[in-house]
Every structure is written in structure tokens, then in C-alpha cells.
Amino acid sequence: MEMLQSFFLSITGMSVESFFQHLSNGISLGSLYALIAIGYTMVYGILRLINFAHGDIFMISIYSVFYGVAVFAIPWPVAVVLSIVITVFLGISIEKTAYRPLRNSSKISILISAIGVSFFLQNLATVVFGGRPKAYPVPEFFSRIYNFSGISITSVTFFIPIMTIFFLFVLLNFINHTKTGMAMRAVSRDYEASRLMAIDVDFIIMLTFGIGSALAAIGGIMWGLKYPQISPFMGVIPGLKCFIAAVIGGIGNIKGAVLGGFMLGIGEILIVAFLPSMTGYRDAFAFVLLILILLVKPQGLLGENVSEKV
């Protein structure tokens, strides 16, 4: 046992203990990315749109909980439910006002609109909430620390992956075993044909945005538990990274999004762990990974080949 440990240490420069600590941190972060990535991948699968505003919807959900608990003194579980409702409503409104009118325009227009919404939300949040970072309310239940042979894990670190897997399971069941789920799959496969098959495409799109936003909200609520400091621009980098995670796993593929999220989260942590001098490049890691995937396997790890018909 001792020999194995020192062997490991000599190769990696770190102890087995540290490694597992890093791994658990990575899994925790990765499951957060995974939840948010699902929202991106679902919207892209149906509309072929990179919803730049997804990361900012995530930010709004966190602020909603903050305002509920800290300002209006609502009990935490109620604030959480309220936050999800608000976020879903917001996501659907955005679809209706900013994306639906452009559905028949060029891709560039709708992308620009998405960027516009994103910036609008960030700056609106700055104006309404103020630019100063605020402390997210964390119920005591989530702050407990457990120790396993030298590895420290907070209860949050358990909670998040469990929730992610749970929601993944529920979502996959919904998509694969219900009629509405089938409709969603149909629309993402072939928009026009689905219309002809009397599927209410507008409703399906609305539902997609709703589910995506709800998952972003849940991701946000848990993100706040882990990183209890909120600011209006907090959704930008995670939003971008989560989109990258979705692309890596195969955009349009929910399992891919989860896989991508975990890969990104764990990879990010391990890079800093093994190459501390490269910490400054941490965010760039996600982009480098993205570009590699786009060049080598653009449809993502779990994606299918899509060729353009002439």
C-alpha cells in the first residue's frame, strides 16, 4: 500500500490523497457544468441556436434565490421553487421576444440577438442589483464537512452529482418514453417534417426553453451553494464553458452534454493540480479543448455525423 502511494507520488508529484481530493472537486464542478450544458444542448438541438443568454439566465436564478431569502425573508425551499418558476418564465419570454421573430432570418441575426439579450441581462442586473458582489444564502445542511482518510468533502459535493444524475435520468426518460419527448426528438431531427406531422412546433420549442431554463436554475441554485458569491457577470464564463462542454460531448445530445460537463470540470481541476504554473491558462483550457474537438471530431464525442446536402 505504502509502496503504491510513493510510486504514485514519484510519478505525479502528488500524493494519492491529494489526487482523490482533486478528483472529488472535479466531479463536483463537472456536475454543475453538466446540468447547465444540458440546457444549451437542448436548445441547439432544436433551433440550431447558441443561446448566449443561457449563462445569464443562470445568473438571474441565483439572484432570485438571494433576493427571496436575504431581502424578502422567504424560507429557502420556497425561494428555490420561486426562483425556478421565475427563470422558466424568463427563458420562455426571451424565446418569444428575441428569437421567435428571427426564426426565418439568417443564423447570424439570431446569434446577434442572443448576444444582445445576454449583454442586456448582464447590464440590467448591474443596474438593478448593483455591481457589488453579494453573499448567497447557504443553509446549514449544505455546509457540513465530512472527512474520509484525509480527504475533505462538503455535503454539497455529494449533493450536486446526485442531483445531476437524478435529473439526467428523469429527462432521458421523458425524452425517450413519452409522446412529447418523441415530438421533441422529431423537431430536432427535422423541423419542417415535424410541422407537417401536425406537431405544435411552437409549443415544443417553448417547452424546450422551459426545461433548459429550469435545469439552468437548478444548476444555478447549486452553484451558489458551492460558490456563495454572486455578481451580475458571474454567468459569462460558466455559460461559455458549459456551451463548450455541450459541443465536446456532441451538441444536441443530452448524454453528451453531461459527459462534456464532467470532462471539462475534472479536466480544469486536474490541469491546475498537475501544472500549477499554468493556472493562469485555466479558462483557456476549455477553449483549447473546444478547438481540438471542432477540428478532430466536430460532431462531438457522442454526436452523429451530419453532412450538408447539396
Q: Which is nearer to another protein, 110 or 168 (CB)?
A: 110
Shortest Å distance, C-beta 198 to another protein? 29
Q: Cell for 87?
A: 427563470
Q: Which is nearer to another protein, 126 or 185 (CB)?
A: 126
Shortest Å distance, C-beta 263 to another protein? 16
Q: Which is nearer to another protein, 32 or 217 (CB)?
A: 32
Shortest Å distance, C-beta 79 to another protein? 17
Q: Cell for 62?
A: 441565483
Shortest Å distance, C-beta 179 to another protein? 30
Q: Which is nearer to another protein, 88 or 246 (CB)?
A: 246
Shortest Å distance, C-beta 197 to another protein? 27
Work out the burial of residue 190: count CB atoms within 10 Å of its CB; fewer than 13 is exposed, 13-18 middle, 19 or more buried.
Answer: exposed
Q: Which is nearer to another protein, 55 or 171 (CB)?
A: 55
Cβ atoms 216, 39 nearer than 8 A? yes
Q: Cell for 96?
A: 418569444
Q: Which residue has the cell 455541450?
A: 246
Secondary structure class of 245 (helix, strand, coil): helix
Cβ atoms 257, 38 nearer than 8 A? yes
Paired strand residues for 146: 153
Shortest Å distance, C-beta 74 to another protein? 19
Tell which residue, 55, 50, 32, 25, has the closest CA to residue 290: 50
Cβ atoms 121, 96 nearer than 8 A? no
CB atoms near residue 137 (< 10 Å): 15
Work out the burial of residue 111: count CB atoms within 10 Å of its CB; fewer than 13 is exposed, 13-18 middle, 19 or more buried.
Answer: middle
Q: Which is nearer to another protein, 2 or 277 (CB)?
A: 277
Q: Cell for 164?
A: 445531476
Shortest Å distance, C-beta 254 to another protein? 19
Tell me the C-alpha distance between 213 and 46, whole Å.
Answer: 15
Q: Which is nearer to another protein, 5 or 178 (CB)?
A: 5
